[in-house]
Amino acid sequence: MRVPLELTDQIENYCKKSGYRLPLLTGKVPAGFPLNATDHISEWVDMNQMIIKDPGSMFLIEAVGDSMEDDHIYEGDLLIADGSIQPRHGMIVIAAIDGEYTVKRFFKKDNAIKLVPANSNYPEIDVTDNMQFAVAGVVVRSLHQFSY
């Protein structure tokens, strides 16, 4: 489609913000015994508004390894992290240690910071003064692709 050059910025902005809407069906789906099925749409959910709260501070990063499997973060999952959220005790964070990223639970007591995996086969990381350390973001969602 041809559009006037002066409208390209407005169109690009619209496309970035409009996102996708998916139908939210009435009822709930039990993970136990089946219920009567209905296919009525109760509302439309804007996926941008649901997932992306602060586009300027959020990012995606792919999970690698199995150190967070007990928190249901698996190899290949896309993690959505928000750099504007201040990490609190027990939150899952993307941390940078000496230039390398890791995903772990964040624990802080007094001035001591500990990063804890969700798999007992991996050691906890005690953050020390001689490490270059920063929290890049707090994980707010994990996108898991089922492999069939």
Is residue 108 flagged as an active site residue? no
Task: Note whether residue 103 is domain-resident.
Answer: yes
In the set 16, 53, 104, 147, the catalytic residue is 104
Whole-angstrom Cα distance, residue 15 to residue 2?
16
> pLDDT for 41-92, tens place per residue?
777 777 777 777 777 888 999 999 999 999 999 999 999 999 999 999 999 9
Do residue 76 and residue 95 come from a single domain?
yes
> pLDDT for 28-44, tens place per residue?
666 776 666 666 677 77
CB distance 73 to 63 below 8 Å: yes
In the set 67, 84, 109, 147, the catalytic residue is 67
User: How sure is the predictor about 19, in pLDDT bands with cuts at 50, 70 and 90?
Assistant: low
Do residue 47 and residue 64 come from a single domain?
no
Do residue 64 and residue 119 come from a single domain?
yes
User: Quick one: pLDDT at residue 1?
Assistant: 46
Please tell me the pTM assigned to this model: 0.77
Domain holding 14, by residue range, is: 5-51
Consecutive H or E run containing 15? helix 8-18
Consecutive H or E run containing 125? strand 125-127
User: Quick one: pLDDT at residue 46?
Assistant: 78
Q: What percent of the chain has pLDDT over 90?
A: 55
Do residue 97 and residue 130 come from a single domain?
yes
> pLDDT for 5-18, tens place per residue?
666 676 666 656 66
Is residue 28 flagged as an active site residue? no
b/e burial code for range 68-89 (CB count within 10 A of at least 16 → b): beebebeeebebbbbeebebee
Task: Note whether residue 148 is domain-resident.
Answer: no
Do residue 86 and residue 135 come from a single domain?
yes
Do residue 62 and residue 127 come from a single domain?
yes
Tokens of 72: 């249901």
Number of domains in the chain: 2
Do residue 73 and residue 103 come from a single domain?
yes
Do residue 64 and residue 107 come from a single domain?
yes
Task: Note whether residue 44 is domain-resident.
Answer: yes
User: Quick one: pLDDT at residue 145?
Assistant: 85
Full DSSP string of 55-117? TTTEEEEE--SSTTGGGT--TTPEEEEETTSPP-TT-EEEEEETTEEEEEEEEEETTEEEEE-
Do residue 107 and residue 65 come from a single domain?
yes
Do residue 102 and residue 130 come from a single domain?
yes
Sign of the four-CA dihedral 130, 80, 62, 65: positive
Do residue 103 and residue 134 come from a single domain?
yes
Do residue 47 and residue 62 come from a single domain?
no
User: How sure is the predictor about 139, in pLDDT bands with cuts at 50, 70 and 90?
Assistant: very high
Consecutive H or E run containing 12? helix 8-18
CATH number of the domain to which 83 belongs: 2.10.109.10
Task: Note whether residue 20 is domain-resident.
Answer: yes
